[in-house]
Amino acid sequence: MAERYAPEVLDHLVRPRNVGEIEANSGVGESGDTACGDVARFTVRIGDGLRLEEVRYRVYGCAACIACGSALAELAEGRDLVSAAAITKDDLLEALGGPLPPGKEHAVTLVLDALHKAFEDGWTRDYDALLADGGYVAPGSGSGKKTVVAAMSGGVDSAVTALLLREAGYNVVACTFRLHDAEPGSRSCCSPDTVLFARDTAHRMGLPHFTLNLKELFGRRVMRDFVGSYAKGSTPNPCVACNAHVKFHAAAYLADRLGYEKVATGHYARVGEGPSLARPEDETKDQTYVLWPMPKELLARTVFPLGEHRKTEVRAIAERNGLAVAYTPESQDICFIPSGNYRDFVGRKVEAAPGEIVAADGTVLGRHAGVANFTVGQRRGLGVSAKTPLYVREVRPETRQVVVGGREDLRTTEILVGATNWFLGVQEAAFVQIRYNGSAVACKVAATEREGVYRVVFEEPVYGVAPGQSAVFYTHDLDRVVGGGRVLRKES
């Protein structure tokens, strides 16, 4: 052992620091697997000013893990939380006298992850405001200081966002959200491997990193809504629901706990006066469609650095700065369904009830296994055939019928939109966009007798409009978002 380990490692093994567990703790974190023999557990007590007054650890495993746990506990204790969240693998190795022997490098990752999970547990214990139906919205510290919490998913966009903010003079804290239980090694933004990668990316940029466990909130406000919408014959957009209820609220929550002013994400969009939401420089990456439900109070404290850059520039910035994410592929899947098979996902959670596939006149054309397998505009997988292509024109969950017809039957000229959120006056709405990658069409919007419900008349037909889809309204120059809402039903 003396030949393999540096003297500092031996010192931590002979005189371990901070061994034990804090009973009245502020957070508990555990990482590792008893199957492979290494488990690290940290408990922390956080005092006034977010200072780590006590840090204790227990490690069950090899000598390297024990020494790493001792060294990390000693490094973290007495620091403020942000400083402790910036401790890197290199910082820990320096405290241990240099690199660990081959095959023992995992010890550093293991103990760092356990400490960060203790921080995560501490945040989670005070989530009542975040879990409220109205979401967490606060005005920020009002200090005027350039401080920001930047959401970091492990991809190139969020990494460059944090980098640009740092270069602009902000004090940046990076944060990754655990939204659901993703499998290790998967491409999901919530997989354990991706969380570790995001943390390592932040640390390599010299940024502190936190994780927030939002599984309960995400499950209630996004996944449950996603499954329920299909069961009710609607077509949901989970990214819209996440932006409306989860991501920005959580970032604001953490910012306020840290005393930070701004929040930021890697969305391609701009924030204007009002505040208002505007399209980005790179219109091919425009994400304003999924941002329409943001409360104005949150939009006012949000920064979108990528709104001024094209995607090619973003990758070039990452490459120029030596970021490992420079060539990561684009993520096109729903984050909690990395396979892309949403019907299989919904089918596992909804009890299927068979029904009829009918024509508009009621003629029965076939049978189906459940309405959750169908959405308006769908052509493939109908299970019936005809001389001309058939499309789903309506889903009727109350009678378990799926109505099909020709393409012209998908033609729509008027809809009702509810659950609206407006950045500008309704009278400024001149165009509407119904799909994320769709084109905006000219329209006229008028209020109805129902509060928050509007009648939208298209100046040219739109095909395949489905209840549950987002309708996002733009100004005459197609640059600014006026507001948005959910399609309630087609009128004609």
Structure token digits, residue 485? 């809402």
| Position 106, amino acid | H
Give the model's confidence band at 189: pLDDT under 50 very low, under 70 low, under 90 confident, else very high. low
pLDDT, position 35: 61
Residue 35 CB coordination number (10 Å)? 7
pLDDT, position 289: 97
In angstroms and rounded to an integer, the radius of gyration of the C-alpha atoms of the chain is 26
What kind and span of H or E run contains 272?
Answer: strand 270-272
Nearest to 214 by CA among 296, 295, 287, 153: 153
pLDDT, position 52: 97
**Model-wide pTM > 0.85:** yes
Residue 23 CB coordination number (10 Å)? 8
Give the model's confidence band at 1: pLDDT under 50 very low, under 70 low, under 90 confident, else very high. very low
* Range 7-115 has CATH code 3.30.300.30: no
Positions of CATH 3.40.50.620 in the chain: 128-327
363-385 average pLDDT score: 93
pLDDT, position 2: 44
What SS3 class is residue 191? coil
377-402 average pLDDT score: 93
Instruction: Quote the distance between the C-alpha of residue 412 and its chain's center.
Output: 32
What SS3 class is residue 454? strand
Positions of CATH 2.40.30.10 in the chain: 410-490
Positions of CATH 3.90.1010.10 in the chain: 7-115
**Domain 128-327 carries which CATH code?**
3.40.50.620
Structure token digits, residue 184? 């290790």
Binding residues are 151-158, 177, 266
What is the C-alpha separation between 56 and 60, in angstroms, rounded? Answer: 14
User: What Å distances lie between residue 481 and 286, 403, 420, CA to CA?
Assistant: 12, 34, 13
State yes or no: pLDDT of 142 exceeds 70: no
Q: Which residues pair with 19 in a beta bridge?
A: 57
Structure token digits, residue 243? 């932006």
What SS3 class is residue 461? strand
pLDDT, position 352: 84
Residue 244 CB coordination number (10 Å)? 25
Give the model's confidence band at 120: pLDDT under 50 very low, under 70 low, under 90 confident, else very high. very high
**What topology is assigned to 410-490 in CATH?**
Elongation Factor Tu (Ef-tu); domain 3 (2.40.30)
What is the average pLDDT value for the chain, to the nearest integer?
92
- pLDDT single digits (tens) 305-353: 999 999 999 999 999 999 989 888 877 678 888 778 888 888 888 888 9
State yes or no: pLDDT of 450 exceeds 50: yes
Contact status, residue 391 vs residue 410, Cβ threshold 8 Å: yes
pLDDT, position 190: 54
| Position 6, amino acid | A
pLDDT, position 141: 66
What SS3 class is residue 298? helix
Tell me the residue length of the chain.
492
**Domain 351-405 carries which CATH code?**
2.30.30.280
Mean pLDDT is lowest, of 8-12, 60-64, 141-145, 249-253, for 141-145
pLDDT, position 485: 98
225-246 average pLDDT score: 93
Structure token digits, residue 77? 């204790």
Positions of CATH 2.30.30.280 in the chain: 351-405
pLDDT, position 419: 95
Contact status, residue 161 vs residue 264, Cβ threshold 8 Å: yes
Binding residues for ATP are 151-158, 177, 266
Structure token digits, residue 85? 């969240």
What is the C-alpha separation between 417 and 220, in angstroms, rounded? Answer: 23
Please report the sign of the dihedral spanned by the C-alpha atoms of residue 108, residue 194, residue 31, residue 149.
Answer: positive
122-127 average pLDDT score: 87
Catalytic residues: 242, 335
- pLDDT single digits (tens) 147-165: 999 999 989 999 999 999 9
